């Protein structure tokens, strides 16, 4: 604490940015890895992702897709059909995660 003549003023904690934390903020969600894994195979529609990841609820999948879109990992393409067709594709930023996820898979195979 820093002492002032009138009272005590708490000192703000120093925050050090960690790149690993930043990465986990993007891909650390419960379903994010599985969604990204499926998109490594190419463009997918919402229904396809739901079938490929059967344990995810529609709400959780929607939340995950929105989060990944906000973070620039995937792109959402809407086609004016009836019903509306929506497709999801990895961006170059998302494609760049392939090596990281592959290394995590190798680590898991070795140690778990």
CATH of the domain at 42: 1.10.10.10
| Number of structural domains found in the chain | 1
**pLDDT tens digits for 51-92?**
999 999 999 999 999 999 999 999 999 999 999 999 999 999
pTM value? 0.80
For residue 89, the enclosing domain spans 2-111
pLDDT at residue number 3: 54
Segment 71-77 long-range contacts (CB within 8 Å, at least 24 positions apart):
71/25, 71/26, 73/26, 73/27, 73/36, 73/97, 74/35, 74/36, 74/39, 77/43
What percentage of the chain has pLDDT greater than the value 70?
88
pLDDT at residue number 70: 97
CA distances from 108 to 43, 92, 102, 103, 111 (A): 27, 25, 10, 9, 5
């Amino acid at each position: 604490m820093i002492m002032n003549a009138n009272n005590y003023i708490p000192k703000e904690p120093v925050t050090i940015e960690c790149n690993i934390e930043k990465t986990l903020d993007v891909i650390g969600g419960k379903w994010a890895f599985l969604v990204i894994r499926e998109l490594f195979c190419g463009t997918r529609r919402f229904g396809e992702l739901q079938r490929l990841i059967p344990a995810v609820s529609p709400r959780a999948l929607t939340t995950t897709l929105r989060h990944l879109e906000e973070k620039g990992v995937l792109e959402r393409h809407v086609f004016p059909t009836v019903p509306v067709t929506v497709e999801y594709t990895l961006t170059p930023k998302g494609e760049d995660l392939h090596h990281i996820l592959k290394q995590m898979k190798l680590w898991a195979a070795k140690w778990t």
